Amino acid sequence: MDGNKITYESIDHYISTFPPEIQEILESIRKVIREAAPDAVEKISYQMPTFAQQGNVVHFAAFKNHIGFYPAPSGIEEFEQELAPYKAGKGTIQFPLEQPIPMELITKIVKFRVAENIAKAERKSAKKK
């Protein structure tokens, strides 16, 4: 077993392991997500802070030079134009730490993902009837 691996028990625990300036950024992102998805549940998934509502909405994590934001591929495709200035992959976006974090864009992405998860759950529910 690797003694260096931390198993996070909560988002508070995750955030507490970073320097104060990174904690501040992570708390700001958490607050924005909470406001955009007030019914979402906080949890740790894949060892990252995660918000879930009818499935995972978004994950986020701090790295040496950026904040990783994971809104699933659909969350990236939907906001492709607005995400153009950032390094992005299939399901990940990197917000450089030396630039302001785009909180308004995070809000839009989170609201989109919540709506998407709710619609998906409603479709599943309708199929069962």
Q: What's the average model confidence in pLDDT over 69-89?
A: 95
Place of tokens 């529910």: 125
- How far apart are alpha carbons 113 and 94 in whole angstroms? 18
Condensed to tens digits (0 to 9), the pLDDT of residues 26-75 reads 999 999 999 999 999 999 999 999 999 999 999 999 999 999 999 999 99
Sketch out the chain's domains with CATH numbers.
Answer: 11-128 (3.90.1150.200)
| Average pLDDT in the chain | 94
Express as a percent the part of the chain with pLDDT over 70.
96
